[in-house]
Amino acid sequence: MGESKRRVTRETLGVETSGGRVQVRWDHDAATTPFGPLVFFVEFLTLTGVLDRWIASCPLMYRGPHRSTNRDILGTWLLSVLSGHRRYAHITTIRADGVSPDLLGMTQAVSEDTVRRALDAREDTAGADWMQAHLDASVQPLLSAPWRLDVDVTVKPLYGTQEGAEIGYNPKKPGRPSHAYHPYQVAGLRLILGVDVEAGNESHSNRTLPGLLRCIDRLPEAQRPKLVRGDAGFGTAPVMAGLEARHMPYLFKLRLTKNVKRSIQKVFWNDDWGDAGQGWEGRAGELVLTGWTTARRVVVLRRPLTGDVLLAEESHQLGLAFVESGVPAKRYEYAVLVTDLPHAVLTLAPLYRDRADSENAFDELKNQWGWGGFTTQDIKRCRLSARGVALAYNWWSLFVRLANPTARLEAITSRPFLLAGVARKTRHAGQPSLTIVPMHGKGTQAIRLLTQVSHLLKVWKSIAERLPLKSVWQYVCERIATRVTGYNWPTPPKPLPDLCPESP
């Protein structure tokens, strides 16, 4: 008689539930992941080549028999960001993932301390240049189409003794030390072209200006934005003068200072107000403020208010003034824009209102990605992590737009929709297989979109191998631009530059 095969025994635990008694067994050896559909995103990163170029050009070189490779370190960091983590300590939750590291070509997921030390080992300038080069490469191929650049400043509250933790402008938590993030965004596509992290007391637009001008100067003439937009913090003389020197059109909002309000009073009773859309009226004119060396074109906007209004008097004897709806008086809200564009008021007002979409992207990066976290004692790693999160955000945004070009899906929607699925890895005849169970109510729709993207990538790969006129990356950028922006390419987008260091 043959010998019986040795069976692996696992402890079984009976658990009482409302549905009856359930036998529970723990399996520490199975290769599983809660992000089974991640395999489709990894295919996107692999066939476009963006992941391999990012890893190969990393300026960190570890030596030693037990060293962690750049692929292990950066792959772990990327998985953490995609998982929605906000702290390095959260990396521990993905170390038991038996599938995702293999998909990225990693040997293992490293510890949180290894990632922290690796980011600290990079020189500030070398690390910043490395990340910025890949941020540019993830966006520039799409900039042949006309586009707008949105600038803003967002505040990241801090709760320790980090470098640069200064008290500055913080509307939600006054008096709380913070960092100031100065991002530069491609409007419409919601892609980040760059981000600077400064101390919390350096949130003024004058601190944004150097990074903004570097961002513009890096771009070829044909790929520069057709318009730079910003809120009231950017309607200052230095910012406008810097853009005017580069013949760069701008559209900013002005703070309602005394001189601005005086200008509103002069034109308020005129009769030549024109329609500005959505119930607004507008009137164009010129204005010279203190500190300006020349007159600039301004657009005064006003909109009647409806309903009852309650006015609070700020005095020692607190009182309220009620403006009754029956009183024959008009009540207005108003704003003033400054620009060097010659367009009509009906064009400029909606053009500025469209800027509200950029606020959604900044809010998404802070609250759904890692800009609200990944904090370390030194500001160098905070800057590096901000750019790393922005790069992962760009890659994911392009992938989602490729899968669903008709609508922009934020991470709070797109990650559960396209990543939620338990997968088990098996191997037969040397061929690995993934069995994925979708864990989303719209799992069938997600499967259809992911399958379509995979099919497109394979077709483009086949064409690129037979006719090496375009790369897969070029086909991706061309499809996104034509489907999302409706822009027809006069010439194909340029391929990604070679960002890998030369071999010694």
Q: Is the dihedral of CA 96, 99, 103, 106 positive or negative?
A: positive
Which helix (H) or strand (E) segment holds residue 455: the answer is helix 443-466
Round the average pLDDT of the chain to a whole number and report it. Answer: 87
pLDDT digits (tens, 9 = 90+) for 358-406: 889 999 999 999 998 999 999 999 999 999 999 999 999 999 999 998 8
Nearest to 459 by CA among 444, 443, 475, 448: 475
The whole-angstrom separation of Cα 117 and Cα 387 is: 17
pLDDT value for 1: 44
pLDDT value for 495: 52
pLDDT digits (tens, 9 = 90+) for 36-67: 999 999 999 999 999 999 999 998 877 666 78
pLDDT value for 305: 80
Confidence band of 332 (pLDDT split at 50, 70, 90): confident
Could you give the percent of the chain with pLDDT greater than 70? 89
pLDDT value for 200: 92
pLDDT digits (tens, 9 = 90+) for 469-481: 789 999 999 899 8
Question: Worst-scoring range by mean pLDDT, 135-139, 267-271, 350-354, 492-496?
Answer: 492-496
pLDDT value for 64: 63
pLDDT digits (tens, 9 = 90+) for 163-189: 999 999 888 899 999 999 999 999 989
Strands 250-253 and 332-339: antiparallel
Confidence band of 502 (pLDDT split at 50, 70, 90): very low
The whole-angstrom separation of Cα 145 and Cα 32 is: 42
Nearest to 480 by CA among 143, 134, 135: 143
pLDDT at 410 over 80: yes
pLDDT at 6 over 80: no
Record the tokens describing residue 281, joined without a space.
């009226």
pLDDT value for 295: 92
pLDDT digits (tens, 9 = 90+) for 187-236: 989 999 999 999 999 999 999 999 999 999 999 999 999 999 999 889 99
Nearest to 33 by CA among 101, 83, 97: 97
